[in-house]
């Protein structure tokens, strides 16, 4: 499984969940985040800023794009029957068609409330197999600042809003 933006707020959790489910995980992130990703369970890490990640990734079964824009470069890496999932927005018809021609799927994902999934995540946390990395905390009154930080910077882990 290839996870783009593996050290981000969603990515660092996706790495751990994928490992807990038995996946071999490849994560893309800048070099300074590689030690963290290995500590979280990534089997391989690639510095996407050092060159094309495609040259370092073999065939994969799943590609997870958490930032957007990686579909055209990830779909060709998928094994027949594989799936590309974009969490960053809808998959356009051109990418969906290219994926279909390659014998793979390209889809987007929108999370919906799911009690069973939350129970599974809670069990991973309780078992020590899932731990959030907190990049910073902000009082609820500073939510706009936290949002701006998440938009402007390459945040490692989650930003947390605190309520008095």
Between helix 115-126 and helix 11-20 the angle, nearest 10°, is 80
The arithmetic mean of pLDDT across residues 86-109, rounded, is 95
Share of the chain above pLDDT 70, in %: 100
Per-residue model confidence as pLDDT tens digits over 19-58: 999 999 999 999 999 999 999 999 999 999 999 999 999 9
Query: Taking the model in full, what pTM does it have?
Result: 0.93
Domain ranges of the chain: 2-132, 133-164
Please give the structure tokens belonging to residue 117: 């999934």
Q: How far is CA 73 from the centre of its chain?
A: 16
Task: Assign residue 14 a region (left: φ > 0; alpha: ψ between -120 and 50; beta: otherwise).
Answer: alpha
State the fold for domain 2-132. Rossmann fold (3.40.50)
DSSP string, 23-44: ---EEE--GGGHHHHHHHT-SE
């Amino acid at each position: 499984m290839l996870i783009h933006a593996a050290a981000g707020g969603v990515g660092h959790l996706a790495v751990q969940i994928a490992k807990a489910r038995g996946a071999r995980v490849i994560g893309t992130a800048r070099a300074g985040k590689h030690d963290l990703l290995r500590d979280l369970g990534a089997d391989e890490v690639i510095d996407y800023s050092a060159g094309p990640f495609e040259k370092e990734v073999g065939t994969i079964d799943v590609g997870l794009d958490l930032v957007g824009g990686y579909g055209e470069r990830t779909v060709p890496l998928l094994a027949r029957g594989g799936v590309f999932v974009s969490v960053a927005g809808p998959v356009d018809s051109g990418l969906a068609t290219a994926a279909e021609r390659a014998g793979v799927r390209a889809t987007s994902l929108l999370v919906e409330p799911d009690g069973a999934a939350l129970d599974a995540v809670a069990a991973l946390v309780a078992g020590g197999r899932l731990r959030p990395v907190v990049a910073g905390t902000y009082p609820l009154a500073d939510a706009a600042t936290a949002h701006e930080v998440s938009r402007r910077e390459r945040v490692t882990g989650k930003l947390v809003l605190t309520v008095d």
